[in-house]
Amino acid sequence: MENPLVIALPKGRLLAPSILFLKQLEIAPPGLSEESRRLTFDQPEKNVRVILVRATDVPTYVEYGAADIGIVGKDLLLEQMRDVYEPLDLGYGPCRIVLAERDEGENRTEGRSKLRVATKYPNITERYFSEKGIPIEIVKLYGSIELAPLVGLAEQIVDLSSSGETLRAHHLKVVDEIAQCTARLIVNRASLKLKYPTVRNMIETIKNRLRPSPAAANRAKPRGTR
């Protein structure tokens, strides 16, 4: 293929719905699946190449031009603040970034001069508490965030939650909702200029796919409206 449009997909929770989304757009390369060990997939008929990368790396691949387009959760865009163009909310993979703490029981962190918050989102957490004027100490973790309040590592956590079942299973309650997140389409700014017709056509194709049909829109209208 000559100068293909490179699309970065995130491994993890958004991979399956992202693959399905590409299939609905009829641009998914043959063999693209969650089970495959391959990292690159070509669709010569559409001049498209799909690469699978770690979710946290998708914004980096797109910002530096290794991928023209990427699909990534809004949580990572808020955390990393990469210089990418974000034209569309794809609507799937809904979840929330929440502040949570122990629902009940002994507080093992009393007496600390600063509130200690465990999270894998230090930048989001810092901005949230700074806006409220609350001094905190951030503990950066990479997994099992829910464990931190249970063992006295932190008083509160900032984490991603979908149904809230994991929090409840660990006897944690949501104190505040910081942001709502879904999958987003991001574009390399240089690609938007150098591959403008191809990128713009892809954005419009996706936009049309996301737009409800006239029949569906009419069904959604309240009675008495036009």
Which tokens belong to 88?
Answer: 């569309």
pLDDT in tens, 20-67: 999 999 999 999 999 989 999 999 999 999 999 999 999 999 999 999
What DSSP string describes 83-136? S-EEEEE---S-EEEEEEEESSS--TTTT-SSEEEEES-HHHHHHHHHHHT--E
| Rounded Cα gap, residues 166 and 150, in angstroms | 13
Q: pTM of this prediction?
A: 0.86
Report the run of H or E that residue 225 belongs to, with start and end: none
Question: What distance lies between CA 207 and its chain's CA centroid?
Answer: 18
Owner of token pair 């929440």 = 98
Handedness of CA 113, 115, 120, 126 (dihedral sign): negative
Say which DSSP state 217 is in: H
Residues with Cβ within 8 Å of residue 65, at least 6 apart in sequence:
188, 190, 191
| Residue 95 C-alpha from the chain's centroid | 9
Domains of the chain, each with CATH number or no CATH: 5-93+182-211 (3.40.190.10), 95-179 (3.40.190.10)
The predicted-structure confidence for 143-198, as pLDDT tens digits, reads as follows 899 999 999 999 999 999 988 888 999 999 999 999 999 999 999 999 999 999 99
Q: Compute the C-alpha angle 208/20/10, nearest 5°.
A: 100
User: pLDDT, tens digit, for every residue of 107-132?
Assistant: 544 555 689 999 999 999 999 999 99
Rounded CA gap, 208 and 205, in Å? 5
115: Cβ contacts below 8 Å, ≥ 6 apart = 129, 134, 135, 136, 137, 155, 156
